[in-house]
Structure 1
Amino acid sequence: MDLQSLKIFQTVAKLGSISQAARELQYAQSNITMKIQQLESDLQTTLFYRHNRGTALTAKGIMLLAYTQKIFNLIEETKSVMNDDQTPKGQLTIGSMETTAAVRLPALLSRYHKDFPDVDLTIKTGPTKQNIQGILQYELDGAFVAGPIGHPELIEKEVFEEELVLITDSIDPPISSFEDFQTRTLLVFHNGCSYREKVEQWLQKEGLIPNKVMEFGTIDAIIGCVEGGLGISMLPQSVVAKNVQNGTLRQYSLPNEYGKVKTVFIYRKDKYLPASLKEFINMLDEVKSLI
């Protein structure tokens, strides 16, 4: 078993096809097949199911893929450690919930970019579950998610607390009781969004079933559709404050159990912290008042 064989295995697993892996790696398809067969022989197990649409990992293949990712991540981390002179530089990829990135992070990111211009900072937005997986799979260096998480492989730092509010348009009559929500369409982010989970838990406890549920991918789409009278939603008060102040939205408070959500910054316990990430974490403590 060598690194080249593991790289070939990883590529076939990612693409689900020996022919596609051959094209990506610019190898002959027969060489890819031979390497996979040799790896299976060395490990004395079957790594892939072959079918007419390509390949699928066996249970042992799934296990090997996890170890393969760790091996290559460790190699990259070793390179980073050897090249790290404690000067913040290079790539830094941070995940964030979209609402946090839109409202809370601009001041922090602006200051970080000004102080450390040699860092190639990338922000990737997505729901909490997606960001957690990004950290666990070494795709993200850190992420802002709804907490607490309590994962044994992650460190989490509380950054701030959001107040979630229910929002409606300002055209229709105000809602007099929570039962009125049953007649409205519920506008939410896709599955994996912690705010969606909160509103669904609250509605379930109250025994309320929305008339219809519609999924959206952006904050602006949800806010615009609520303002237009399409339905109701639940978002952080910091996100909708201007709209409420301008009179285009109405907001309704929720019980603390569902209306308060902590936002935490997470990163792996076992990963070496480059200077770029150390400074980002340090800056979180310095600029909490700005976010």
Structure 2
Amino acid sequence: MDLHSLKIFQTVARLGSISKAARELQYAQSNITMKIQQLESDLQTTLFYRHNRGTVLTTKGSLLLSYTEKIFDLIEETKHVMMDEQTPKGSLMIGSMETTAAVRLPVLFSKYHRHFPEVDLTLKTGSTEQSIQGILQYELDGAFVSGPIHHPDLIEKEVFEEELVIITDNVHPSIASIKDIQTRTLLVFHKGCAYRERFEQWLHIEKMIPYKIMEFGTIDGIIGCVAAGLGISMLPSSVVENHVQAGTVKQHSLPNSYGKVKTMFIYRKENYLPIALLKFIEMLSE
């Protein structure tokens, strides 16, 4: 078993086809087949089920794939360690919830860029669940998520505490209890949003079924439709503060058990962290 064979195995597993792997790697299909057979012989196990449409990993094949990905991740990490210098440079991919990106990150990102202009800093917004998966799959270096997370492979650091509020159009009467909103449409982000989950959890505990749910992909879309009277939403007060002051929407307090939520910065639990990420984490602590 060598790295070359593992790379071929990984490619076949990813594409689900020996012929597709041969085209991508620019090898003869017979060579790919021979390498897979040799690997199966060395390991004394079957790695793929073959069928007319391609290949499917066996249980042992899936296990080998997980180890193969760890091996190649470790090789990449070793390269970064050898090349890393004290001056941060290269790429840094940060994930974030849409709300945090809109309100909390512009000043932080601007400061980081001024201090470390050679770092190619990129922001990718998504739900908490998407960011967690992005870090575990090495697509993100770190992310701002709603916490706590308590994942064995991740380190989490509390960075903000947000106050959640209900927002309505500016002519909506005060909300004394959850029954005052039971006939209103909920305007929320897509599944996986921590604030949406908190909203739905509150309704579930109060034994209320939402009248109607409409999903949006942006903060501006939600706030604009709330202001127009289409429905109500639950968002951090920091996100809607300017809109409340401008009189376009009205905010209503939540019970303490639902009104506070922590924003965490998470990253992989590894022995080595790139200097660009270390400096970013240090800046969060300032």
Q: Same-fold call, TM > 0.5?
A: yes
Matches within 5 A, 1:97-176: 97-171=97-171, 175=175
- 1:155 and 1:87 map into 2 onto residues whose CA distance is 24
Asked if the contact 1:181–1:210 (Cα under 8 Å) also holds between the matched residues in 2, the reply is no
- 2:25 and 2:98 map into 1 onto residues whose CA distance is 35
Asked if the contact 1:135–1:143 (Cα under 8 Å) also holds between the matched residues in 2, the reply is yes
Between stretches 106-115 and 58-67, larger displacement belongs to 58-67
Asked if the contact 1:86–1:274 (Cα under 8 Å) also holds between the matched residues in 2, the reply is no
User: Number of aligned pairs?
Assistant: 286
- 2:159 and 2:211 map into 1 onto residues whose CA distance is 36
Q: Secondary structure at the match of 1:183?
A: coil
Asked if the contact 2:167–2:250 (Cα under 8 Å) also holds between the matched residues in 1, the reply is yes
Q: 1:29 offset after TM fit, Å?
A: 3.2
Between stretches 111-120 and 55-64, larger displacement belongs to 55-64
Between stretches 189-198 and 173-182, larger displacement belongs to 173-182
- 1:58 and 1:105 map into 2 onto residues whose CA distance is 44
Q: 1:175 offset after TM fit, Å?
A: 4.5
Q: 1:75 offset after TM fit, Å?
A: 0.4
Asked if the contact 1:170–1:227 (Cα under 8 Å) also holds between the matched residues in 2, the reply is yes
- 1:18 and 1:182 map into 2 onto residues whose CA distance is 55
Matches within 5 A, 1:59-70: 59-70=59-70
- In structure 2, relative to structure 1, the CA distance for the partners of 1:86 and 1:173 (3 Å cut) is same
Matches within 5 A, 1:144-223: 144-171=144-171, 175=175, 177-223=177-223
Q: 1:31 offset after TM fit, Å?
A: 2.9
Deviations 1:176-207 (A, max 9, x none): 54213221222222222211111111111111
Asked if the contact 2:135–2:268 (Cα under 8 Å) also holds between the matched residues in 1, the reply is yes
- 1:185 and 1:4 map into 2 onto residues whose CA distance is 56
Letter in 2 for 1:168: T
Aligned position for 2:84 = 84
Letter in 1 for 2:243: N
Deviations 1:94-132 (A, max 9, x none): 111111111100101011111101111111111111211
Letter in 2 for 1:104: R
Deviations 1:269-289 (A, max 9, x none): 224112111111111112xxx
Aligned position for 2:269 = 269
- In structure 2, relative to structure 1, the CA distance for the partners of 1:20 and 1:233 (3 Å cut) is farther
Asked if the contact 2:93–2:142 (Cα under 8 Å) also holds between the matched residues in 1, the reply is yes
C-alpha RMSD of matched pairs (Å):
1.9
Q: Secondary structure at the match of 2:19?
A: helix
Asked if the contact 1:92–1:277 (Cα under 8 Å) also holds between the matched residues in 2, the reply is yes
Tell me if 1:9 matches 2:14: no
Letter in 2 for 1:285: S
Asked if the contact 1:16–1:54 (Cα under 8 Å) also holds between the matched residues in 2, the reply is yes
Asked if the contact 2:187–2:232 (Cα under 8 Å) also holds between the matched residues in 1, the reply is yes
Between stretches 197-206 and 4-13, larger displacement belongs to 4-13
**Is there any run of 5+ residues in structure 1 with no aligned partner, and where?**
287-291
Aligned position for 2:280 = 280
Letter in 1 for 2:104: R
Letter in 2 for 1:161: E
Q: Secondary structure at the match of 1:87?
A: coil
Q: Secondary structure at the match of 2:264?
A: strand
- 2:43 and 2:148 map into 1 onto residues whose CA distance is 40
- 1:39 and 1:119 map into 2 onto residues whose CA distance is 40
**Is there any run of 5+ residues in structure 2 with no aligned partner, and where?**
none
- 2:227 and 2:51 map into 1 onto residues whose CA distance is 50
- In structure 2, relative to structure 1, the CA distance for the partners of 1:262 and 1:29 (3 Å cut) is same
Q: 1:172 offset after TM fit, Å?
A: 5.1
Q: Secondary structure at the match of 2:55?
A: strand
- 2:132 and 2:232 map into 1 onto residues whose CA distance is 28
Between stretches 159-168 and 130-139, larger displacement belongs to 130-139
Aligned position for 1:242 = 242
Q: Secondary structure at the match of 1:122?
A: strand
- 1:229 and 1:195 map into 2 onto residues whose CA distance is 20
Q: Secondary structure at the match of 2:182?
A: helix
